[in-house]
Amino acid sequence: VGTDLTDIVVPRRVTVRELGGCMGPIWPSYYGSCRCLLFMMDAANPTQLSASCVQLLGLLSAEELAGASVLILFN
């Protein structure tokens, strides 16, 4: 529970920050530095899918993320 931060060095440095669903209330504090968004849903947990969709819609409607690329994964 919490966040995980990883730096990946390719032609330039890419910072990947993992924020779990329980961290949803603080997600907006990271929007300003976000250029790409990967949203992963646990497809094996159907009771959580509707809550995940609500969180995803909140992200997609955030003005600060309007220019960000988005990838949605179901695992």
Q: Binding site: residue ranges?
A: 21
CA–CA dist 71, 51 (Å, integer): 18
Domain boundaries, position 64: 3-74
Six-digit token string for 28: 């907006």
The residues, any chain, with a CB within 8 Å of residue 53's CB and separated by 6 or more, are 41
Number of domains in the chain: 1
The rounded Cα 47 to chain-centroid distance in angstroms is 20
Q: What are phi and psi of 7, to 5 degrees?
A: -105, 130
Q: List binding-site positions for GTP.
A: 21
pLDDT per residue as tens digits for the range 16-70: 888 877 877 888 888 888 889 989 888 898 888 888 899 999 999 999 999 999 9
